[in-house]
Amino acid sequence: MNAPLRRVGVVVIVLFGLLFANLNWIQAYKADEYRTSDYNGRVQVAKYDRKRGNIEAGGTALAVSKETDGELKYLRTYPGGGKYAHVLGYEPVNGSATGLERAENDFLAGTSDQLIVNRLRDMVTGDTTAGGNVLLTLSKRAQDTAYDELRNNNRGASKGAAIALDPATGAVQALVSIPSFDPNPLASHNTNEATSAYNKLEKDPARPLRNRALGEVLPPGSTFKIVVAAAALENGIGTDTNIPAGPSYTPPTSGEAITNAVPSICPQAQVTLMKAVTDSCNTGFAKLGVQLGADVLKEKARQFGFEQEDLTVGRLGESGLGVAASRTGSMANPDGGTDPAALAQSSIGQRDVRMTPLQGAMIAAAVANGGSQMRPYLVRQLLAPDRTTVYDTANPRELRRPVSGQVAADLRDMMVSVVQNGTGRSAGINGYTVGGKTGTAQSAPDRPDHGWFIGFAIDSDGKPVSAVCVVLEEAGSGGSAEAARIAGQIMRAAIADPGGR
């Protein structure tokens, strides 16, 4: 019986070998996956063992971890409340973080590869490595202004967004979405409290959790005329070229006439392109669009950034907050050919054209920056936990070049005319060359119109200092003028405090 006993011994060794190999698979190969799994409750406890880094702008901490007596050793707080909520997001105990808290989690939590030297050093000294700090480009004054002015807009609009960029670098100076929310209860260690706060926000029909500046797409209305004008300038039409206009235009296939906002706008048969932009002449741009064709318009819009689905705003070269794609929509018949009615309506930013506030600001920024559109970003610098070492300083880069310098100069002149002589007068700033374009977009047939303004400010040396987009949803009549006023205020604040310090 000894031979089979020995073989049983071998079988036992094989069985234990299988156990050992399988434990290797789980505890070595799959360990990282299991350790960081969403189902793993240890992640929650462990991440509160070390102090998460600050998120700061202009020397002020916007997200800070404070020491507690509880089992979770640090509480994440947001001193700015709702003002920065859509930029920062929040870091809840259960569930996933949002905003930059999510995008920059590795660095804030101290687990980033970039911080490995700090961790190794702290392993020797026995300290717990704190998280790194993230410094933002935001201008405190511009953000304050944008938040206060949007919330107190004279149209009583409850929903809207504003975003301001430095046209020369793409640095975001202000980013506000209203209605906003207070992220502090969502980060509460009392998870029941956090859950009920979240559920309340989630059920709110105004959708306060939504970042409208990057995530909401609305019909851009007349602000889209800048794109059409750019296409026209590239197709042999000059700023002083006369284009057909008139009080009303009925496209060939449609019974519905396109008219101007008020009868006093371009009733004559011909106006210059300059005049058509300045007064926001609908009939002129509808006819221009039909003349240029859908392909030309769509291509121009694409060159300005429409249809891009993977843009993020955060750290350059890394991920960040997602941006919804702006769309020109379909301008085709059911049989595939161009539908002139759809094309005409799309040319004045209606029909299926949809744009994010960020896209609006990027159009204005490209015009102000001589035709070069810079990649927008929010993270200026990463700072080591001990605040001595700088890990990553933003190096601004061009995203694309939608128009040539000449076309940009012509567009700039026309947009300046809008603020000096046309619909955007309330955006003007003393001592600066301000340009812009208003937009009034029909939302639903029985709902008030959205008011838009996209614009820029250039200093006396010809250097662009700010580009901005403001939208007031369902603001009704006068919404675009109020948007222009708010845009002027934001740019003024951005000039006084350019941010990035």
Partner 1 sequence: MTAPATPASSPATAGERPGVRMARSRRNAELSLLLLAMALVAAYGAMVEAKVLDTVTPGFWVPAATLTAVFLGVHLVIRFLAPFADPALLPAVALLNGLGVGFLRRLDLAKAAPEERADLAIFAGIGGRQLAWTLISVVLAAGLLALMRDHRSVSRYAYTLGLAGIVLVMLPAVLPPSISEINGAKLWVRIGSFSIQPGEFAKLALLVFFAYYLVRKREVLSLASHRFLGIDFPRGRDLGPVLVVWAISLLVLVFEKDLGTSLLYFGMFVATVYIATERVSWLLIGLVLFFGGAYLAYVLGDAVGGPFANFYLRAQIWLDPFAQPYDDGYQLVQGLLALGSGGLFGAGPGGGQPLLLPEVQNDFIFAGIGEEIGLFGLSALLVIYLLIVERGLRAALAVRDSFGKLLAGGLAFTLALQVFVIVGGISKLIPLTGQTTPFLSAGGSSLMANWLLIAVLLRVSDAGRRPVDGVGGRVTRPSGPPEQLHGAPTEVIKP
Amino acid (1-letter code) at residue 419: V
Stretch that binds partner 1, among 6-14, 233-241, 260-268, 444-452 (CB under 8 A): 6-14
The token pair at 310 is 């993977």
Provide the b/e sequence for 148-180 (b: ≥16 CB within 10 Å): ebbbebebebbbbbbbbbbbbbbbbbbbbbbbb
User: Interface with partner 1 includes 431 (CB under 8 A)?
Assistant: no
Stretch that binds partner 1, among 24-32, 190-198, 266-274, 345-353 (CB under 8 A): 24-32
Quick check: is 280 catalytic? no
Stretch that binds partner 1, among 9-17, 120-128, 431-439, 448-456 (CB under 8 A): 9-17
The token pair at 60 is 């002020």
- Which of 500, 501, 493, 399 has its CA nearest to residue 162? 493
CB distance 340 to 331 below 8 Å: no
DSSP calls for 356-371: -HHHHHHHHHHHHTTT
Shortest spacing between CB 386 and partner 1, in angstroms: 26
CB of 42 or CB of 447, closer to partner 1: 42
Distance CA 233, CA 436 (A): 17
Shortest spacing between CB 116 and partner 1, in angstroms: 17
Distance CA 429, CA 439 (A): 20
Upper half-sphere CA count for residue 61 (Cβ side, 13 Å): 13
Shortest spacing between CB 96 and partner 1, in angstroms: 15
User: Interface with partner 1 includes 2 (CB under 8 A)?
Assistant: yes
Tokens 């509808």 correspond to 286
User: Interface with partner 1 includes 123 (CB under 8 A)?
Assistant: no
CB of 22 or CB of 406, closer to partner 1: 22
User: Interface with partner 1 includes 67 (CB under 8 A)?
Assistant: no
Which entry of 177, 222, 372, 480 is annotated as an active-site residue? 222
From candidates 18, 206, 269, 390, binder to partner 1 by CB under 8 A? 18
Shortest spacing between CB 10 and partner 1, in angstroms: 6
User: Interface with partner 1 includes 477 (CB under 8 A)?
Assistant: no
User: Interface with partner 1 includes 152 (CB under 8 A)?
Assistant: no
Residues 26-45 that bind partner 1 (CB under 8 A): 26-28, 30-35, 37, 39-42, 45
End-to-end CA distance of the chain: 84
- Which of 427, 447, 429, 448 has its CA nearest to residue 437? 427
User: Interface with partner 1 includes 257 (CB under 8 A)?
Assistant: no
Q: Which residues bind partner 1 (CB under 8 A)?
A: 1-6, 8-13, 15-16, 18-20, 22-24, 26-28, 30-35, 37, 39-42, 45
**Residue numbers annotated as active site:** 222
